[in-house]
Structure 1
Amino acid sequence: LPTWGQLRRRKRNEIPEGLDIPSYMFRNVTKGGHWLTVRVVGKGKGLNPMGIGATVRAYKAGHAGDKSALIDRHDISIGNGYASGEEALAPLGLGRAAACDLVITWGKRKQRMTNVKADRFITITFTDK
């Protein structure tokens, strides 16, 4: 799988491809809906600062944890193939939803956030306390 990321923080994931010469950048030109990008940060003993291994789930507002209301899900990692990777972020597509509920699971830890406004970058911090 190739690397992916948000070119110039334009809220849409794009794919650079550099296996051949010349290299290419595949721009995402789809019509956008609402979105939310989540960074998970660990502070304290046994928590990595990049949130690697966390799972972020977005649900319809008012329905956190209801499987039938799941909008999007992302597992945070930084590697997805040979010699490639991505930022340790969870980019979530929310479609028409202007807000959502989040459930972030990281090992045995879990956080819930309700009525999170769309179209922004947020940081969720886990501590060892």
Structure 2
Amino acid sequence: MPEQHESKKCLACGGEALYIQDVDLVDKRVLGVQWCQAALYRCASCGHIELYQRQEDREWQERLERQYQEYQALPDYRCPLCGRVGKNQTCPHCAMLCTPVGPKREDEPPPPGQPEKKKKRGLFGGKDKPDWER
């Protein structure tokens, strides 16, 4: 069964723009956005042609954005052996059971396996450099 496409309002004359076909835009950049396909509409009264992002592509993009937000909401875990931080409860590098990471505190020592960061000093061991010079 063919898909139903609604008509659009023409941006040039305000008439009715009807769906013609999907256009393949693989590896072409349109206004800085790389689309795979677009829906082509043509105005019946003035002949103006317009490209619209397909509804399927818009829904797919929204679904990806929701999945990314859900992934970012997952807690972080730190491996007690190698010190790597990730979203898995088991470290993918050394297969150790990881511990949940809480909010970072300033006085907290670095995790095992990671060297402590040294503060950069000014010329001749003077005062600490400001953050923007590090």
Tell me, yes or no, whether TM beats 0.5.
Answer: no
Instruction: Give the alignment's TM-score, normalised by structure 1.
Output: 0.20
The structure where strand makes up a greater share of residues is 1
Structure ID, larger Rg: 2
Structure number with higher relative contact order (C-alpha < 8 Å, ≥ 6 residues apart): 1
